[in-house]
Amino acid sequence: MRLTVTSFLTLDGVMQCPGAPDEDGTGFEYGGWSAPYGDEDFGAFMAARFENADAFLLGRKTYEIFAGYWPRVTDPGNPIAGPLNSLPKYVVSSTLTAPGWHGTTVLTGDLAGRVGKLKEQPGKEIQVHGSGQLAGALIAHGLVDELHMLIFPVILGVGSGLFPRQPVAAAMQLADSSTTSKGVTILTLRPAGPATFGTFAEEP
């Protein structure tokens, strides 16, 4: 399977609590910043994303947010609840021991090794949604095959972001882009090898 990451980001790179105030239990005062930008374009893109899923890989915090809501949406035709409730879910955690959501497996130990084995399984995509710390680690390990960034036209100036705070120096290739009616820019990016460097300075 290919490993894909779908992330909601502000213009200044914040991904914390997009869906609701205090979504992650940290008391983040600007939570819910993505809610005003929902429209048909946004919904259609997300529904298409979930159609490609054969499994989900989540960090513990995102898993607990999802597990607290989506099992209560029982319509199997719901484009997000249907796949989330029926497909295998893998949660990376050193503290979660008894997940209650059907189809969940807890992953511990060597992240790169465990995820590498998941990617060897047949199927279309194993998808990461949210899960900022996990997504950053996967990017740092070079395990992400495709990155979907939904960039919302809002600036917060505070909050946790997506990309790892360590040297990575990787180039990305733009595979697709679109903009919703409410101004959300959707970028689909794929790894393009190591970053390259040059200069605009004039030769002496």
pTM for this predicted structure = 0.92
Q: Edge-to-edge strand order for the sheet containing 2-10?
A: 104-107, 89-92, 53-59, 125-129, 2-10, 146-152, 185-194, 170-179
Domain of residue 155 covers 2-188
The CATH number for 56's domain is 3.40.430.10
Task: List pLDDT tens digits, range 39-65.
Answer: 999 999 999 999 999 999 999 999 999
In 58-159, which residue ranges form alpha helices assigned H by DSSP? Answer: 60-67, 81-86, 111-119, 132-140
Look at strands 146-152 and 53-59 and give their pairing.
unpaired
Mean per-residue pLDDT over the chain, rounded: 93
Cα-based torsion angle of the residue sequence 162, 187, 88, 60 in order, rounded to the nearest 10 degrees: 10
Q: Is residue 201 part of a domain?
A: no
Q: Is residue 200 part of a domain?
A: no
Task: List pLDDT tens digits, range 135-172.
Answer: 999 998 999 999 999 999 999 999 988 886 777 788 99
List, in order, residues 6 or more apart from 165 with CB less than 8 Å away. none
Q: Is residue 178 part of a domain?
A: yes
For the chain, the domain total comes to: 1
Q: Is residue 196 part of a domain?
A: no
Q: For residues 181-195, give the mean pLDDT.
A: 95
Q: Is residue 26 part of a domain?
A: yes
Q: Is residue 199 part of a domain?
A: no
Q: Is residue 202 part of a domain?
A: no
Q: Is residue 193 part of a domain?
A: no
